[in-house]
Amino acid sequence: MPESKSAKRRFRVRLRFKFSLIVAFLVALMGMLTLVFFSTMSNALWEEHRQKGLTLAGGLAVNCESLILLNNVAGVYSLLQNAREGDREVVYSFVLDKEGNVLAHTFEGGFPSPLLKAVRHAKKGEIAEKELETEEGLLTDMCAPVMGGEIGEVHLGLSKVFVAGRIADTRNSLLLVTGLVLATGLATSYLFGSYITKPLVELAEAADRIGKGEFDQRISVVSNDEVGLLALAFNRMSRELDQTMRQIGEAREELQKAHDELEERVKDRTLELAIATREMEAFSYSVSHDLRTPLRGIDGFSLAVMEDYGDKLDDTGRDYLRRIRSGCVKMGALIDDLLTLSRITRSQMNKEPVDLSQIAVSVAAALQEGAPDRKVEFVIEPGLRIFGDASLLHAAMTNLLGNAFKFTRYREGARIEFGAAAVKKRKIFYVRDNGAGFDMQYSDKLFGAFQRLHTGTEFEGTGIGLATVKRIIHRHGGDIWATGAPGEGATFNFTLEGC
Ligand SMILES: Nc1ncnc2c1ncn2[C@@H]1O[C@H](COP(=O)(O)OP(=O)(O)OP(=O)(O)O)[C@@H](O)[C@H]1O
Ligand SMILES: [Mg+2]
């Protein structure tokens, strides 16, 4: 069964169950009250039965007094007969004289002599009672003394069956009423439960549909009570929600349109930019390339002037010529660097597994070989393998380690490290040195072409190395940044795609 359906059923059952529980509680309360009422009433009936016996027996004893004294047996008999016929509860009555002989009685088939033994006899001033089991059923025998028992006693048999019958009738009526109340209560609670839960279930189903995105929901307002109020509020809410969602939808559409337009424009601009960049690169490549020939001419002819006419020039002339030639060398180096940078951007990438640690070791060995008189400690973490273009990565490592080697030149105990640190599941490679360092406020300039933070007399270079490294790292889907402080060394960090 889907979750919402079972939740609905549970909800329905619970509410009805609660109603039934309240009704059951009220019925149980009523049942208890009825029980108390019944027990009080039955006690009262028994007490009434007893009081009636006492009154009747006492009255008979008083009335018999003169008749016995006058020895009027017929009178006594008629008195007894009247008493029996006057009340349905009276089963029998009889009078004993002072010797205990039966003077008169109301038994139609003759006096049952065992009765004399079964009953209790009166004591002076007191009416004796005894419960007897007879053929007519259970009864109470009341014995009242006549003249304090001096001239006889009167007995009156009162049927208990009659009283018990009245009590049973009352009990049955009470049971019937209680049963009817219970049935009515349960039926009412069921119907009331349905009446209450039906609109609530309708409400829950509509809310469900809203949850599924159908915002325009209306439910019928069937009553003008709190549930009706709830239905009204729900309808208002769903109308407003529908309106708001429509507005959001329209706004989203407009936003999407603007976004698409922007994306289209960015695509166009990117294409234009790519074309412009390509043209620029082609232009700078051809310019650099074409500059070489005239430069070679200037260098060659200034050498010829130096060799052929050097002796005809004075010292100043010869110095000018030397300066021209050293400018040519510098310009040649610049052109070479520009061509390298351009080649790196345009060259085809050949990706393969590359051991960066191995590259670092071979670059360090070459640097060391180029300056055998320098003492530099290289610390290279082994086994740093990645997937990339071996020759481009070799060029990048040469630039970074070359810089570290160059900028530790005036440092006693120079130390250069290469390694990687794991940060948030990514590897960050680093080249660290304890050389000249740099001012962090210019850190964003480092990677621009021909940007240098140190003078050429202090540290030679054209300022193209880090621009080349940055392009190589970008072509490998990574990023590069540097940290450092003047006199405290520098650290160049970079990431690579897939590491
Ligand atoms: N390890 C380093 N320590 C201190 N400064 C550095 C370091 N590496 C680079 N720099 C600074 O960044 C500038 C740019 O470096 P880059 O490698 O691009 O140029 P270069 O080394 O001066 O010349 P080139 O590499 O073209 O021969 C350097 O001139 C220097 O000021
Ligand atoms: Mg450099």
The answer to whether the CB of 491 is under 6 A from ligand 1 is no
Q: What percent of the chain has pLDDT over 70?
A: 97
Distances (CA, A) of 375 to 249, 312, 358: 70, 47, 21
CB of 449 within 6 A of ligand 1: the answer is: no
Which part of the chain has CATH 3.30.565.10? 348-494
Cα distance between residue 84 and residue 139, in whole Å: 14
- Is the C-beta atom of 438 inside 6 A of ligand 1? yes
Please check the confidence at residue 3 and state whether its pLDDT lies above 70: no
| Tokens 């951007």 -> residue | 345
Would strands 414-423 and 376-380 be described as parallel, antiparallel, or unpaired? parallel
Residue 221 in tokens: 């307002």
Check pLDDT > 50 for residue 327: yes
Q: Is the CB of 302 under 6 A from ligand 1?
A: no
Sequence letter at residue 348: Q
Each residue of 293-315: pLDDT tens digit?
889 999 999 999 999 998 999 99
Residues of the chain with CATH 3.30.450.20: 3-182
Q: How far is CA 318 from CA 243, 300, 305, 332, in A?
A: 89, 15, 9, 21
- The ligand that comes nearest to the alpha carbon of residue 453 is 1
Looking at residue 6, its pLDDT comes to 54
Sequence-distant (≥ 6) Cβ neighbours of residue 266 within 8 angstroms: none
pLDDT class of 407 with cuts at 50, 70, 90: very high
Nearest CA to ligand 1 atom 25: 465
Q: How far is the CA of 439 from the centre of ligand 1 (A)?
A: 12
Lowest-confidence segment of 50-64, 236-250, 277-291 by average pLDDT: 277-291
Three-point CA angle 237, 242, 248, nearest 5°: 120
Which residue CA neighbors atom 29 of ligand 1 most closely? 452
- Quote the CATH superfamily of domain 3-182: PAS domain (3.30.450.20)
pLDDT for res 80: 92
1: pLDDT confidence band, cut at 50, 70 and 90?
A: very low
Average pLDDT value for residue range 39-46: 90
Q: Model confidence at 444, in pLDDT bands (50, 70, 90)?
A: confident
State yes or no: pLDDT of 352 exceeds 90: yes
Instruction: Show contacts of 287-293: CB within 8 Å, 24+ apart.
Output: 288/335, 288/338, 288/339, 288/342, 289/339, 291/331, 291/335, 292/332, 292/335
Give the mean model confidence (pLDDT) for residues 248-262.
94
Say yes or no: CB of residue 337 within 6 Å of ligand 1: yes
Quick check: 12 pLDDT over 70?
Answer: no
Whether residue 90 contacts residue 156, with contact meaning beta carbons closer than 8 Å, is answered with: yes
CA 98, 102, 104: angle at the middle one, nearest 5? 110
- Whole-number Å distance, alpha carbon 466 to ligand 2 midpoint, is 6
d(CA 474, CA 495): 9
pLDDT at 402 over 80: yes
Task: Determine whether domain 348-494 maps to CATH 3.30.565.10.
Answer: yes
Q: Measured from the CB, is residue 356 less than 6 Å from ligand 1? A: no
Ligand 1: distance of its center to the CA of 447 in Å? Answer: 9
Closest ligand 1 atom to the C-alpha of 437? 4
